[in-house]
A = this chain, B = another copy of it.
Amino acid sequence: MEKLTHFDAEGHAHMVDVSQKSHTARVAVAESAVQMLPETLALVTEGRAKKGDVLGVARLAGIMGAKRCADLIPLCHPLPITKVSVDLTPDDSLPGVRIRAEVRTTGQTGVEMEALTAASVAALTIYDMLKAAEKSMTITATRVVLKDGGKSGRYEAQP
């Protein structure tokens, strides 16, 4: 059975010791999506041009959210993040907005939680910006799609 590293031998939560892990280049990519009505999505796509940049606000919130990860997730290590990007793509087939967050570090542990936090905060911000138009939006499919660097090797999600 797998070991849950966030608990010690007695089952008590702790922040696991990464002192001996090497400072490696690490990257993680996470995805999320906000499903909405077609008419709500129309507000996003029209707005970019003239009425207000929903995606610009959400992108910035996601980037800043990555920096707050260790404040929010109890057992996460604080890490010197070296890169964050958040891509937001309107998708009529959803319909809604697809989110892709990439985070890099040269620290001693992975950054998948930072990437997931960036994607989640971007998604929450999209909800906030559009909730006056539609309350029934749903945030869905938040997951890690790529993790690389460090001892545990490369992980890629199945499509």
When the two chains form their complex, are residues B142 and A113 in contact, meaning their CB atoms are under 8 A apart? no
Interface residue? A50 (CB, 8 A): yes
Q: List 7 A-B contacts (CB under 8 A).
A: A4-B133, A67-B71, A68-B72, A76-B128, A113-B127, A120-B139, A140-B140
Q: How large is the interface on A (under 10, 10 to 19, 20 to 34, 35 or more residues)?
A: 35 or more
Residue in chain B with minimal CB distance to A16: B83
Residues of B within 8 Å of A125, CB to CB, are: 73-74
A50-82 CB contacts (< 8 Å) to partner B: 50-54, 56-57, 59-61, 63-68, 70-82
A112 and B131 in contact, given A107-B80, A141-B140 (Cβ under 8 angstroms) = yes
Residues of B within 8 Å of A147, CB to CB, are: 135
A99-158 CB contacts (< 8 Å) to partner B: 104-108, 112-113, 116-117, 120-121, 123-125, 127-144, 147, 155, 157-158
When the two chains form their complex, are residues A128 and B6 in contact, meaning their CB atoms are under 8 A apart? yes
Interface residue? A92 (CB, 8 A): no
Residue from the list B43, B60, B68, B127 in contact with A116, Cβ < 8 A: B127
When the two chains form their complex, are residues A72 and B80 in contact, meaning their CB atoms are under 8 A apart? no
Residues of B within 8 Å of A72, CB to CB, are: 61, 64-65, 68, 72, 121, 124
When the two chains form their complex, are residues A132 and B3 in contact, meaning their CB atoms are under 8 A apart? yes
Q: Tell me, rounded to whole Å, the shortest Cβ–Cβ distance linking A77 to chain B.
A: 7
